[in-house]
Amino acid sequence: MLDFIKRNKLLVVVFILFSLVFLTISFILLTPQKKLTIYSPSMVNPEMVDSTVQHISKYHTIADFEFTNQNGKKITPADYEGKIYVADFFFTTCPTICPIMQDNMVEIQNHFKDNPNVLLLSHTVMPDIDSVAVLKKYALEKGVIDSKWNLVTGDKKDIFYIARKSYLAVKTETEGELYDMVHTENFILVDTKKRVRGFYDGTNKEEINRLIEDINHLLAQEN
């Protein structure tokens, strides 16, 4: 056997290289490739979606918006152009799930603080209470990095529509009462093309880890 190997060194080397290439290609082909869903209104729980868009089955993107952040700056889609971002809905005086959600959002902020391609966007569902000054105080308490994370307020009607027509993530308290919002624990992942790519329980650590993994997956796709 050793004599054969010595006489056919080149053949043996070629065989080994071929085997390695074959095994590598086989592994790639047989390993399931991660794919994130591109969500449309028809795919989401109707409780979270405005009735006027529930029929839409494709080509859904986040609509244009203009809100005001914790520093009094107008925030529009231009501030998120070409970025991956995580959106949610909250209010500063919420005593139940909001503190947990915002602590987990801080974790996401800190995880991607050195990556300018990942941003955060939190909308208050109680703009009559959450003024710019209130949001600024809340931002300072939470350690919000202004360049990474906007806490925004605005007209309640506009927030209602962006929540239910774009992000597909907020319930109404009374079926017949317009603009009466009940925020959920949802974190919404949005890609660079303004498409919804995932929903995550913002109170659940395992879901936060999944969200971070999915953000990294989108980042890898963009590069």
Annotated binding site: 94, 98, 183
Q: How far is Cα 222 from Cα 114, in angstroms, rounded to an integer?
A: 17
* 129 contacts 92 by C-beta, under 8 angstroms: yes
Write out the two tokens for 87: 């959106």
> Binding site membership for Cu cation: which residues?
94, 98, 183
Question: Two tokens at 150?
Answer: 């906007």
Return the HEC string of the chain: CHHHHHHCHHHHHHHHHHHHHHHHHHHHHHCCCCCCCCCCHHHCCHHHCCCCCCCCCCCCCCCCCCEECCCCCEECHHHHCCCEEEEEEECCCCCCCHHHHHHHHHHHHHHCCCCCCEEEEEEECCCCCCCHHHHHHHHHHHCCCCCCEEEEECCHHHHHHHHHHHCCCCEECCCCCCCCEECCCEEEEECCCCCEEEEEECCCHHHHHHHHHHHHHHHHHHC
